[in-house]
Amino acid sequence: MTTPPPYNPSDYTTPQGQTYMVTPMVGKVMRKTFGWMAMCLLITALTAMGVVNSGLFYQIASSGAMWLLIIAELVLVFVLSARINKMSVTTATIMLIVYSALNGATLSFIFLAYSLGSIAKTFFITTGMFGVMALVGATTKRDLSKMGSILLMALIGLIIASLVNIFLRSSGLDWIISLIGVVLFTALTAYDVQRVKRLATESDLYDDTQVGRLAVISALSLYLDFINLFLYLLRFFGRND
């Protein structure tokens, strides 16, 4: 995944008339954000393949360690999100890297459930969709912040429906959940990219520490958007040849 080009200084105006000045600082934050996100995706992919190829996956699955990995992931996301403004950039970056590796271990099952070809195809489809929506979020003059509450409610509903379907095991409901998941995380991509741009514009970023913190937490958000979009698309395009 390539990083977006630097932004040229220009005015960014929402329909409500609020103006955001797009400065070189915004471009710096965006480049760092997409750079960290790309690094996280690479770490996740390499970890997942390493876990499967080494046979470690079977040990993790049989020992129940998978639940420990999932809990560790949730703790890392919670701590990183809640205390990002009090962390050093180094600490935040290490936590982001560790989270990416843990997520790679928990997602390693996809290499057993789907063929490598269908995984690669789905990855490229995801990259294309993500790239288009990221471009929309970065360039649109429409204020997407009003979508926040709607997207949050949709996300909560999606989680509840997914939990319910664990017990129902309905293929029809699973198809609907997957479709909604694709639509939701496609929209979240544009929303989050614009949010990063807005925060970089409105925040008082006086030094590299503040820039680094914003880039790390933003990279986490976009990384999660990409991973979830990929997993939902994999339900449609994944094959086990």
Collapse the DSSP code of 20 into the 3-class scheme (helix H, G, I; strand E, B; otherwise coil) and give the result: strand
Give the C-alpha separation, 135 to 188, whole Å: 13
Which of 193, 90, 96 lies closest to 137 in space, CA to CA?
Answer: 193
> Confidence band (pLDDT; 50, 70, 90) for 1?
very low
Give me the pLDDT at residue 19, please.
Answer: 43
The pLDDT tens digits for 168-219 are: 999 999 999 999 999 999 999 999 999 999 998 876 666 788 889 999 999 9
* 3-state SS class at 194: helix
In this predicted model, what pLDDT tens digit does every residue of 117-157 receive, in sequence order?
999 999 999 999 999 999 999 999 999 999 999 999 999 99
Computed over every residue of the chain, the mean pLDDT equals 89
pLDDT at 9: 29
C-alpha–C-alpha distance, residues 9 and 176, integer Å: 43
CB atoms within 10 A of CB 96: 24
With contact defined as beta carbons under 8 Å apart, do 60 and 34 qualify?
A: no
Residue 22 has pLDDT above 80, yes or no: no
Does residue 114 carry a pLDDT above 60? yes
- Computed on alpha carbons and rounded to an integer, the radius of gyration of the chain in Å comes to 19
| pLDDT bucket at 25, cuts 50 / 70 / 90 | confident
Burial of 197 (0-12, 13-18, 19+ CB in 10 A): buried
Q: Tell which wins on pLDDT, 147 or 24.
A: 147
